[in-house]
Every structure is written in C-alpha cells, then in structure tokens.
Structure 1
Amino acid sequence: MAMKQASASIMAAALLASVLAGCGSKAGGNEGGEQQGAQTPKPGEPVEIVFYSTNGDPAESFDYRFGNSIRKKFPNYTIKYIQNTKGNSMSELLTAGTKFDIFFISTGNYESVMFDNGLEIDMDELVKKQKVDLSKLEPTVVEGIRQSSGGKLTGIPVHTNNMVLYYNKTLFDKFGVAYPKDGMTWDQALELSKKLTRNEGGTQYVGFTTSPNHIIRMNQFSIPNVDLKAQTPTINANEKWKQFFQTVFVDPYSDAGYKQLLDKTNKVPDINSFLKDQNVGMYAYLSSLVYVLPDELQKLNWDMVSLPTFKEQPGVGSQSYPFYFGITKLSKHPEQAMEVLNYMISDEFQMELSRKGIMPVVKNDAVQNALGQDSPFKDKNFKAVFYNKFAPIPAKAPYDANIVANYSKYADQVIKQKADINTAFRQSEEEALKYIADYKKK
C-alpha cells in the first residue's frame, strides 16, 4: 500500500514541477548554524534532522525512498519529514519560524525555492570537513548546481532521472513494424512514427508523443532557458531552439492523421494516451515511470529504448534531472545533516535506490546494473537508461521553472499547428521578458 501511495505522489510531483514557483520572503538565521560553536552537538550524538520538500509527497513516499534506510543507519538521530500540506507551505513555515535542516526537490524547482527564500548555504566547507567524495558522482549533476550557484555547492544530488523512449509492443506487433532499438537517431524514430500513425477500425493511432515540459527542460543541446548575464530568454535568440522544435514538436506531428486527431480533440496526446488509451506507439518521458506508475505499466505490453539522438551529437541523450538535497540556513545541525547526506550518496544507499528503479547518481557499474531489479519490471531493457551520455546541465535562473512553462505552452501551440515556430518564438519571448521584468521588481 505504501508503494502505491508513494508512486502516486511522485507522479503528482513530476506533473506539478513545471508550475512550481518560488515563495515569498527571505529566510533569516545563521549561516547553516555553523556559528553555534561548542553548543553544536557532534556527529553521532542524538539530534533531530528535519527534511522538507514543496512537492507534497506523503510520508509513505519519503520513508520508502529515504526515511526507513536513514533511520536504520542512524538510530541515534530522529529523522522527521514535513509534508507540504495546508498550513505547511514554505511561506507558512518561514513565517512560523519552523526550522528544517534539509530541503529537497528537482532541479529548476530547487533553485527557485532555495534562492528566492535565501535558504541556501555553500556546503563546500562541510564537504571538506567530512571528507565527502563528490568525484564518485555523475559530474554533470554536480556541475549543474554549481553553474546556478556561482560556483558554490548549494545542493547535493541524491538521485536523478533522464528521458527514454517507451514503446507499446502491442501496436508495433499489430501493424507489423519492427521494435525501436537503443541508439536510434531522431530521423529513424520519425520513420517508425510514420508507420504507426494510421486510422484502424475507427481509432486514430499515432506514432510518437512526448511531454513538452520535460523534454524542453532536459533538451539534448543543453540550451539554457535564460541568458543569465543579460537576464533574457533564449527562445528567440538561440538558433538551436529552431532545430529542436522542428525535430521534436513539428516533424512527428505533421502527418494528416495526426492533424485530424489534434483538430478533433484540441489536446496533444499525453501520458494517459500512452498508458490508458493505448493509441500511442512511442512516448518520450522520464525514466522514473517504472516506479511512478507501476500499476498502469503492468496493464501495458511495453519496453523502452534510449532517447533518440541528433546526428551531430551521437550518443548524447537528455540532460540529467536530479533531485538536489541542500542544507538550509535554518539548520541547527549542519554537520549531522551532512553526515546523513554523505550516507545518501554512499554505494550502499545508492544500491538500494537503484534496485527500486530509482536512477542513482554514483558512477558505479554494479549500482547502475542493478537498476530496477527489485521492481516488477526487472526483465525490461533498463540498460536504455544509461545507454546515452548525459547532456551538460546549463546554469538556471531562480525563475527557470516559469520560463520552461512558458516555452512548453508555445510548444503546444506549435504541435497543434496554431502557430508556426517563428511566431511562437516571438510571442514566447515577449511573454518571458515581461515575466522576468516583473520578477526583478519583487
């Protein structure tokens, strides 16, 4: 039962990530509590370590992924988790003076919440003091947070995500089309999509769809959403966006049958189209789907391959989509909190995550090869998750999540052929510029 609740909540968090905005006032307090001197308990002494996230996950989800293992490892520590419910929003906690040691959420949202509220600290000194080995982690996920923090370490990645291509084997069998393979280019995926986009028995089937929000945020060209020096959107300035939109949002949806479906429904096929309606052949989405919606996947004859790549970037997949965990300025116990985080990036803890199907951040073949082995889908092609290299994560503005939401809205317009790329880019840019100007006035 806990697994089901955890799964449902994680999906809710993933779908809500694009609209999560930073919350109001700045937080006060000492720099991570380091100034408390002799009154600060030493690592190992009984303390309470409080975790908080704005993603709304219930306690069952936190305990399944993190809490149970941490409590077992540190029986002297009281591990508490505050769920973001009514009365426990970030602004409400800060107004009430509630202290929490570790904040965590996905990249983009992490920067927004931590930086907007002034909660971040530079954890490099704590890392050195406790001899935390960051070199064993996937470098792009560590560099990603440094890029957004002026070189400082304001968060540590504990688990991550990328994008893969799921496919419905039943539809491929139905239409006599060969299954996708690891290492395909976007051109090859498009050819498969065309063979599956057809009307059969009154049902319109389509070959491909994706989640615009996620694939824009994790784009393979590592295009930053904002030029941080100029504080301007890149959508109408970086030429790579045109190639990206043409390949991912125009070409796969240009078939006449697809256009008829879009005109009829006014809705881009989404995760429900793939999992429930089962009228989509291939769906590019987060690799976390195996633990997010296991019950729904059980009803589908599916497998997965690596995300298709651009010809000029062979072997380069999506950016990583890490969950960062950061010690806050509010923490009374920064050394103990770092001790816990150090355990969470240990091979032992990372192996537990991996076996559950949660993508680890350590560069350890044994840990990576164990991905999903305790999940109901251990016979699936989990090698697809690590087949491509990660694209580098560009620096993110504190308001990055809102800019991604803006770009995604106009991707939807392009897919539905309600706006061409040039028009969509101009309108998106105008809207994004206004948002950034309003943000600066706060």
Structure 2
Amino acid sequence: MRINGRIPSLGIILSLAVLSAACSTTAPAAKGGTNAADGGKDLEPANLVVYSGSGDSPESWNERFGNPLKEKFPQYNIKYIQKQSNLGIKELLTSGETIDIYWDSIGGFASAVLDNGLEFDMTELMKKYNVDFSRMEKTVADSVKQISPDKIYGIPVFNNNMVLYYNKDLFDKFGVPYPKDGMTWNEAIQLGEKLTRSDGKQYVGLSSSQTHMLLMNQLSIPFIDQAKGTPNIFSNEKWRDYFNTVFVGPAKAPGYKEYMKAHKDAIPYRNEFLKDKDLAMFAWLSSIIFVFPEDFSAMNWDVVSLPTFDSLPGVGSQAYPTYFSVTSMSKQRDQAMKVIQYLISDEMQEKLSKKGVMPVSNSDAIKKVYGQESAFKDKNLKSAFYNKFAPIPYKSQYDNLLLTPYAKAVPPVILNGDYNTTFRSTEEDTAKKLADAKK
C-alpha cells in the first residue's frame, strides 16, 4: 500500500502483536526441507530466476547462496541474473524475463518492487511455511512493515551495520593506543587528533563513509519529513547535531582541513584508508572487508564497534537488512518460498554467519560463530554486535534520490562552517527533485 506516493511509516500502524500475528510467531522455526503443508512441492522440479538490484557478481551469489541452495534443492534449477549497466530491472522485464525471487537492501528494495509491480503479499505463504519473525533481530523484523503496514512484500535474509576500522601500523608508528569497543564519538575524535599529524607526509586520524553514515545514522533521522513529504536536512535540527559530531568533529584537528583541500575538498575515504594508508580510522560497513578482501589482506588492520553518542550510550548504527521476495509474476511461488524459508533457517543463518555475512537471526549461538570460517577470523569481528541497533526511521522510496545531495553537504559544512546556507540550499534543491520524481 502506498499513500500519496510515500511508504507508510512503521510508527503509524505497527505493533509487535500485529506483526507477530501476521507471521505466526507461535509456529516452530523454519528448518528448510519438506513441509507437509506444501504437499511435497519442494520435491517437484522448478526453474527459478533470481535477480537483485545489488549488482552482486555470480561468484558472490554462488559463494553465499547459490551453492548451498543447489545442495539443498538439487531438483531446482536456480538461475541468478546479475544487474549490469545495460540490464536493469526495467530492461529485464521488458525482455519478457520472469523474475521469481527479487532481493535487494532496504535502500533500494521498496522502489524496485513497488515501481515495477513486483509486490506480492507473502503473508499466507509465511504462515504456510512457519516463517517466524520473532526469531529475527527486532528492528530488522519491524522494518518490513515500512514497505506496507498490512502486507509483507519481503523477508529479511541478511544484515549489515557500521563499525570502525583502524590501521594498526599508524597507531604503532606514532605510539598511540589502539581504539577499543565501546568508545564514544568524543573519545574517538580525541584519539583521531593524535593521529592527525605530519612527518613529511600528512596523516589523518578519523573519517567515515558519509553516504553509509547518513543512511544508517545513529540518531534515526529520516531523510524526508513524513507528514509533509518533503526533504528535511535544513528543517530537522537533528541533522545539524549529527553532522557536527560525526563529520565536523574529527575535522577540527589541525591539518585536517588542509588535507581535504589537497584532496579536492573531499573527506578521506576508501583509497586514503586502503591504498594510500594515510587515514588511521575509518567508519564503514561491517561487510566491506568481503567486498575488498585483497586490499584488507594487504594491510595491518583491526576493527572495533562504531563510536556512540553520549546521549545514546550503547546505540550503534541502524541495521541495513537485505530482503528476499517472491514476486507477483512468479508461477512457482511455493518453490520460491521454500528457497527463502531455507535462507532464514537456523542451518543457513549459521552458514552465512560463519562466512562473515551478518545474520538476521537473534540467536546468540548463530551470532557467536560470525566470521569463524572467513579469511579474517582472527580479527575482532564480534565488534559488529557490540552495540544495539538504532531504530530504523521512516524510509521513503525516494531516499536514494536525496542521499547524494545530503552527502555532498558534508565537505562545505566542514570547510565553511555554514550549516544554514548549505542545508537550506540542499533542502530547496532536493525538494524540486522530489516533486519532479513524484510526478
């Protein structure tokens, strides 16, 4: 259901009781395999097409999902189609291809499914196959109702959040103690000041991926004012507090702004951390080590929990779940649902967790094995679970339209200190884009 082009808010309608009733919380956990309720349909041959807006490679798909699914369901022929520059979802649908399972992260899922008519209410299938949302991390389970308050269009399969990576060699070089789990932003900023220094080469202590930090912000600020349906970077004062702590705070160290000016007015990012190795600490996605494994293998690093706000002790970033859905066009919905049922089973969640794919399960035993079979099992990967997840706020299908402009506001605010002018112009510009998109 969509209201005035917006996705209804979780806070308006959702209660745990409603969610639990919709998802049969009293039923046993899904374990995969044959279910008597389906009449043995999982034993029937099926040709299933899987597509994602993520752009994940076939190798990545097979490593995480394809190979385990082939082993579990040898009678299914599961074809994964990778998104490419000339093969987006619209091109795929125009070609006449049928998509049985669509998956994507919270940032792109709603717009892809709703805008292309792929939404299918999976409530009855979830009851039929005993899918139990109460066994998932709560904010992740709750987030499903943001897409529709009374229908279930996607099921969370894996998760993501933000952590703080650090270059141990730089800390050793300057004799500075390593970061620790449980630091506040003020403590991390003070630590970063000690690393923002020069020995003929300028080093910077602390930075972050601004797009991810904004999307998963700890203050749970929405990108759009839900009541008005308009951008809010200027009108919501929380954005000023957030920018001041996360982005401006680290840049107050002497030499930081000069470093930015020498790097096209950009804040230190991926290459400065992984390639140039002149950034000591970088807040980034917990899963990113598996996206750039060779780069991380080539440096001496470790990881701790994301620093927290003094006003929100123990609260980390928002979760960033990825949903899998049975589409409206699928003719093999039972078989597609069996696939998703298995992906969220304890068996598969444990396999994913061991590989370093953050599970959605709230089982401590499954979280405990996180990353144990990955190339980085000797790192402090458990830090990803150190903080509580921040509540996920109202998410609009237009958030991605606002993300880049909001992120582009970071450098001028740091360099010029003029929040009002930067935020006001950003809000005005994005309001026009949003109005055009709604038309």
Q: Normalized against structure 2, the TM-score is what?
A: 0.88
The match for 1:53 is 52
| Equivalent residue letter for 1:323 | T
Letter in 2 for 1:172: F
Supply the AA of the counterpart residue of 1:136. R
Aligned to 1:149: 148
Question: 258, 279, 296: which one pairs with 1:260?
Answer: 258
Percent identical across equivalent pairs? Answer: 52
Counterpart Cα distance in 2 of 1:90 and 1:390: 31
Q: Which secondary structure does the structure 1 equivalent of 2:42 belong to?
A: coil
Question: What amino acid sits opposite 2:354 in the alignment?
Answer: R
Residue 46 of structure 2 contacts residue 77 of structure 2 at CA under 8 Å; is this kept in 1? yes
In structure 1, what is the Cα distance between the partners aligned to 2:87 and 2:98?
Answer: 12
Structure 1, 363-372 or 209-218: larger mean CA deviation:
363-372
Correspondence for 1:236: 234
Q: Match of 1:160? A: 159
Offset from partner CA, 1:327-370 (integer Å, 9 cap, x none) = 11111111211111010001111111111111111011121111
Deviations 1:46-66 (CA, angstroms, capped at 9, x unpaired): 111210012322211111110
Which among 242, 245, 249 is matched to residue 243 of structure 2?
A: 245
CA distance in 2, matches of 1:53, 1:356: 20
The aligned residue for residue 412 of structure 1 is 411
Supply the AA of the counterpart residue of 2:311.
Answer: E
Cα distance between partner residues in 2 of 1:405 and 1:44: 46
**TM-fit CA distance, 1:221:** 0.9
Decide whether the 8 Å contact of 1:41 with 1:47 is kept in 2. Answer: no
TM-superposed deviation, 1:255: 2.4
- 1:309–1:315 contact (8 Å) kept in structure 2: yes
Kept in 2: contact 1:157–1:324 (CA 8 A): yes
Partner of 2:223: 225
Aligned pair 1:113/2:112, yes or no? yes
Could you tell me how far 1:414 is from its partner in structure 2?
A: 2.0
Post-superposition offset of 1:89: 2.1
CA shift for structure 1 position 280: 0.7
User: C-alpha offsets along residues 272-314 of structure 1, whole Å, 9 cap, x if unaligned?
Assistant: 1111111111000000022111111111111111000001111
CA distance in 1, matches of 2:211, 2:427: 16
Give, in angstroms, the shift of residue 43 of structure 1. 3.4
Task: Map Cα deviations across residues 188-223 of structure 1 (whole Å, 9 max, x no partner).
Answer: 0011011110111x2100000111100000000111
Q: What TM-score, normalized by structure 1, do the two folds share?
A: 0.88
Give 1:151 shift.
4.1
Alignment CA distance shift 1:437-1:352 (3 Å): same
Inter-partner Cα distance in structure 2 for 1:265 and 1:83: 34
Alignment correspondent of 2:309? 310
1:143 counterpart SS class: helix
* SS of 2:409 mapped into structure 1: helix
SS of equivalent residue, structure 2 residue 74: coil
Matched positions, count: 400
Paired residue for 1:344?
A: 343
When the two chains are superposed, the root-mean-square deviation of aligned CA atoms in Å is 1.5
Take 1:59 and 1:315, find their aligned partners in 2: how far apart are those partners?
A: 37
Q: What is the match of residue 93 of structure 2?
A: 94
Distance 1:123 1:206, change over 3 A: same
Structure 1 contact 410–425 (Cα < 8 Å) conserved:
yes
Measure, in 2, the Cα distance between the counterparts of 1:376 and 1:328. Answer: 35
Matched, 1:291 2:287: no
- 3-state SS of 1:203 partner: coil
Q: Deviations over 1:101-151 (max 9, x none)?
A: 111111111112112212112211110121111211111112112123234
Partner residue, 1:15: none
Q: 1:426 aligns with which of 401, 421, 424?
A: 424
**Counterpart residue number, 2:389:** 390
Q: Is the 8 A contact 2:166 2:280 kept in 1?
A: yes
3-state SS of paired residue (1:173): helix
Does the aligned pair in 1 maintain the 2:134–2:141 contact within 8 Å? no
Q: Distance in 2 between matches of 1:86 and 1:238?
A: 36
User: Aligned partner of 1:213: which letter?
Assistant: T
1:88 Cα deviation after fit: 3.0
Gaps of 5+ in 2: 1-38
